[in-house]
Amino acid sequence: MVRVVVVGDAQVGKSSIIKCYISNTFDENLAPVIPIAVLPPDASPERVPLTLVDTSSRDWNMLEEEVRQADVAVVVYAADKPDTLGRVTSHWLPMLQATKESIPVVVAGNKLDLRSGDAHSIESELRNAAAPIMESFSIVETCIDCSAKRMINIPEVMLFATKAVLHPSAPLYDAVRHELKPLCIKALKRIFNQCDGDADGVLSDVELNKFQVSCFGSQLLQNQVYGIKNVLRRNLPDGVTERGITFVGFVYLLTLFIQRGRTETTWEVLRAYGYGLDLRLRRETLPNLGNEHRDQCHQLTDEALVFLETLFLKHDTDKDGSLSPDELQSLFDPTPGIPWDDAKQVTSTDKRGQIDLKGFIAQWVACCYLNPLGCMESLVYLGFRGGKESSVEGAIAVSQRRSVEHLQGTRTRTVFRITLLGVGGVDPFVFARSLLPRNVQEGGSDEQLGKESLSPLVISKVAATTDFHLIVESVSLMNEHDVSKVKDVERDGKGSDCIVIFYPSQVQSSFSLAWDAYAQLSRVNEGSPILFAEVNNKTSEEVDDIAIQSPSETCAQHHLPLPLQLSHDGLFASIPCHTHSRAGEGDQDLSPLWSSVVEACLQPHKSSPVLAERKRKVPALTRFLSLTFLPLALHVEATRSDLLLLRPRPRGSAGLL
């Protein structure tokens, strides 16, 4: 259903245009405002139901309400009265923009039959009048002259109004610059890449015909292919080569359709490849990721990782092992944008701050974990296909539940989420930053590195003998009030695979804050390991009263690992930290902190008394079942009450009795 509201000054012919479209007749004696007309789909060339709404310029409140409800507006002026044309730009278009900012508009100059001059001069006048209107108001889709009395262009007025809703030019074309908008170019880049099967940068005749069939259901004749290429040779020599049509030629052809008023052709192409009116892939074109339990996570499959590595190597045109800003932009040209913030702050880069292969893969891993649907969407934009053509279902897998992994001692996940909490003035961001390459650690202030709005740090393959990723987030808890809200740390419901709580050694009472945080987190995080880290800051002079029980004694009493002993001063100079070397160079050792974190992720029962207790109980129960029941056969005995009872049969007995 398309709802069309017709507005304009009095006596310009608004009601006559609606009446003529409905009945194909002109009536001199119409009411000032005719009733709303609802037309069936077969009344429109676009085969959609139409609702046509007439308005009065005197009833301002009703007029604004109708504009808000409408899908498109037709602004009518009288071609024989220049002052009504002036009010289109001074009054009506500003009013429409203020009432409904994005409403598409068709400007119709009625009473063409009263305009003097030949057809050529009238057409020239229309172009001269339309150009400044369309350049000043992006909501204007079309300007057209018509005559209700002579039945000239009346069907076209409503056709353009309908097309402005179904096939709008505004998302595609910049009428001021006379060029396609960036999002449209990105969409066409993806379509071109998918059609360019041999990835040679041009569409051969065979590839062009496959594109034609996928969009319009029919092949081009050979003379039509020649005609298309000749258009490009005359107007854009770079648009065609001996081998086929280039991307700039492809864009030129689809721009030409829009400039000639055939936006529906360009939209037919875009919709055939899954795009909606916002020039993003429609949700129904993406695979269903399925339901995820709160302690499961999405992670990239080997097939997706190979695709991403190939993509990286393809766009690393200078073969220096990293992507420059231009190379990175080229890689993401087919997408609405890069799906992460400045990678230099959070992952592996080279000395120039350019993302390397490990950092590139790590960013994708984090994107998949934190926003799996967005990750899937980006992979589709980039052209990922699974084992069968046009399938992307093989890109993302769901891990086993964390609780099951903890219980069975197995590991299916390759991504671990680490949360660092600091109490008593300890800033965990410093320790998170120790995982970054040294060139990032040593350059820039905390603010430049995003301390206040830190994206999760993404660390790739942090141990030489393992193959997994860490997503590290840091949170500072300043006082008791913050600690009382510590459960909000697990804000997305997924929980963490390991939590490290930092507290200063010089402030004994700070351990009580750390213990309060532990108590709350252990209730909401389903037994995931929680480590304590005591930070020794030699510059601090504050000393508390001696605690009744030391942190080590408290941890031992509750069967927890003893607190890690860390030095805040000279952290980067004295503690070896992981750096992200390129393939073949080998990885450096982890610091004691991160070695403990990795071990806790891989063997969580060693750092969680809850899991340790479960692990002790489950094998005992299993042994009891195997010794008592499993070697015995079962037989059925009917009682007087006709109940069926199962009872063990003695070892070595035969038969049912």
* Residue 635, domain member (yes or no): yes
Largest separation between any pair of C-alpha atoms in the chain: 115
**What pLDDT is attached to residue 44?**
85
**What pLDDT is attached to residue 559?**
83
Query: What is the SS3 assignment for 472?
Result: strand
What distance in Å separates the CA atoms of residue 122 and residue 145, rounded to the nearest whole number? 9
* Residue 528, domain member (yes or no): yes
Tokens 């020039």 -> residue: 279
* Residue 443, domain member (yes or no): yes
**What pLDDT is attached to residue 343?**
60
Same domain, 408 and 275: no
Q: What values do phi and psi take at 466, rounded to 5?
A: -130, 170
Residue 82, domain CATH: 3.40.50.300
Instruction: Kindly state the percentage of the chain with pLDDT values over 70.
Output: 75
**Residues 380, 372 contacting (CB under 8 angstroms):** no
* Residue 289, domain member (yes or no): no
Residue 268, domain CATH: 1.10.238.10
Same domain, 36 and 92: yes
State the residue range of the domain holding 394: 296-398
Residues 6+ apart with CB under 8 A from 559: 609, 612
| DSSP strand pairing (202-203 vs 469-477) | unpaired
Same domain, 224 and 275: yes
- Structural domain ending residue among the three candidates 398, 418, 437: 398
Same domain, 475 and 573: yes
**What pLDDT is attached to residue 573?**
31
Nearest to 171 by CA among 132, 134, 138: 138
Domain count, the chain: 5
Same domain, 331 and 272: no
**Residues 614, 630 contacting (CB under 8 angstroms):** no
Could you tell me the sign of the dihedral formed by the alpha carbons of 644, 646, 649, 653, in that order?
positive
* Residue 96, domain member (yes or no): yes
Residues 6+ apart with CB under 8 A from 519: none
* Residue 291, domain member (yes or no): no
Same domain, 383 and 411: no
**What pLDDT is attached to residue 604?**
79
**Residues 287, 375 contacting (CB under 8 angstroms):** no
Same domain, 389 and 409: no
**What pLDDT is attached to residue 275?**
95
**Residues 564, 436 contacting (CB under 8 angstroms):** no
**What pLDDT is attached to residue 492?**
54
The per-residue DSSP string of 43-96 comes to GSTT---EEEEE--SS-HHHHHHHHHH-SEEEEEEETT-HHHHHHIIIIIHHHH
Nearest to 68 by CA among 39, 91, 96, 89: 96
**Residues 168, 160 contacting (CB under 8 angstroms):** no
What distance in Å separates the CA atoms of residue 247 and residue 270, rounded to the nearest whole number? 15
Kindly state the helix (H) or strand (E) to which residue 125 belongs, with its residue range.
helix 119-136
Cα–Cα distances (Å) from 393 to 286, 287, 380, 482, in that order, read 9, 6, 10, 42
**What pLDDT is attached to residue 638?**
31
Beta bridge partners of 38: 51
Same domain, 110 and 254: no
The per-residue DSSP string of 241-287 comes to -SS-EEHHHHHHHHHHHHHTT-HHHHHHHHHHTTB-TTSSB-GGGSP
* Residue 14, domain member (yes or no): yes
* Residue 243, domain member (yes or no): yes
Q: What angle do CA 333, 338, 341 make, to 5 degrees?
A: 155
**Residues 48, 188 contacting (CB under 8 angstroms):** no
Same domain, 327 and 370: yes
**What pLDDT is attached to residue 584?**
34
- Structural domain ending residue among the three candidates 398, 414, 442: 398
Spans of the chain, pLDDT less than 70: 117-119, 122, 290-291, 342-346, 386-392, 406, 409, 435-456, 459-467, 478-494, 525-527, 537-549, 568-590, 609-657
**What pLDDT is attached to residue 404?**
80
Same domain, 9 and 101: yes
Same domain, 63 and 134: yes
- Structural domain ending residue among the three candidates 229, 255, 283: 283
Same domain, 160 and 186: no
What distance in Å separates the CA atoms of residue 93 and residue 280, rounded to the nearest whole number? 28
